Amino acid sequence: MSSPLLAHADLLRSGRATFTGWVSVASAVNAEILAREDFDSITLDMQHGLHDQQSVIDGIAYAALAGKATIVRIQVGDFSFASRALDYGAMGIIAPMINSVEDAKKFAAYTKFPPLGERSFGPVRAATMCGMTGGEYLKIANRATVAIAMIETQQAIDALDDILAVDGIDGVFVGPSDLSISLFNGAKVDQAAPEVFKALKHVVARAKAHGKFATAFCLSGASAAEHAALGYSMMTTFNDINMLQLGARAELQLARAGAVGKQGGNAY
């Protein structure tokens, strides 16, 4: 039995490099625009982005229309919404600040059906979007959806093997900004620091040792390529807000530079 969710979940587990379009603005149109580009998946950010329940529902649907699976980053500790997002048709959930085995077990409980977890049954849109009955969806759901624990503190690094050993945790996601702040005890944020790079290598090595995958938030396409070379399975290439800002600045700079030479002249 196959489905778009299952296909992408298996792609993540395969270890092949994939790239996700990160959507921070609560706009289904933004999700659709990025979904129609060559991203492998779309991620809707509720933690630091502007999404709410309705924009998540709409974003999942618009991405599905473009043939892409959706991942939702929930707010810290909001595991009940993790279950709802999966019911809405999300393929994966990223949970921030998973710092202990207890955090990981609670997260897995909300995202996996028995015997792995305690997710309540009610795939109101997920089964339909997969073209399945509820019973058919139940048979594949634990494999077709992924629970991704964020590793972004020294505490999480220290507990990494215990977190990865939890049944129902499919992979981990490194947040380099918070990780750098934690590693430097709040003194600075430096995603490119050697200490962060060392931690990145450690995380992906331990994930592979446990037969699981590692993913990461990257600040550029070049950074995403570097993470892929380390063995990460899913990377961002920045988010929609930053891409809009960078694109606007670059084109405006070109426009203003050209306009300087035209001052007092005939533009035609």
**DSSP assignments along 230-252, one per residue:** HT-SEEEEEEHHHHHHHHHHHHH
Tell me the backbone φ, ψ of residue 45, rounded to 5 degrees.
Answer: -100, 110
Cα 166 off chain centre by: 20
Nearest to 236 by CA among 169, 148, 160, 155: 148
Q: pLDDT tens digit string along 98-113?
A: 999 999 999 999 999 9
Residue carrying structure tokens 């129902």: 168
Catalytic residue ranges: 48
pLDDT tens column, 16-55: 999 999 999 999 999 999 999 999 999 999 999 999 999 9
Question: Is 80 exceeded by the pLDDT of residue 1?
Answer: no
Model confidence at 222, pLDDT cuts 50, 70, 90, reads very high
Angle at 41 between CA 226 and CA 155, to 5 degrees: 60
Place of tokens 């792995």: 116
AA identity, residue 198: K
What is the residue-wise DSSP string for 79-104?
HHHHHHHHHTT-SEEEES---SHHHH
| Distance, CA of 90 to CA of 88 (rounded, Å) | 6
Task: Tell me the pTM.
Answer: 0.94
Query: Which residues, at least 6 apart from 191, have a Cβ–Cβ distance to it below 8 Å?
Result: 176, 177, 180, 219
3-state secondary structure (DSSP) of residue 126: helix
Contact at 8 Å (CB) between 12 and 234?
yes
Question: Domain ranges in the chain?
Answer: 4-259
Architecture, CATH, for domain 4-259: Alpha-Beta Barrel (3.20)
Residues contacting residue 78 through CB under 8 Å, at least 6 positions apart: 46
Q: What is the pLDDT of residue 264?
A: 58
Q: Phi/psi of residue 116, each to 5°?
A: -75, -35
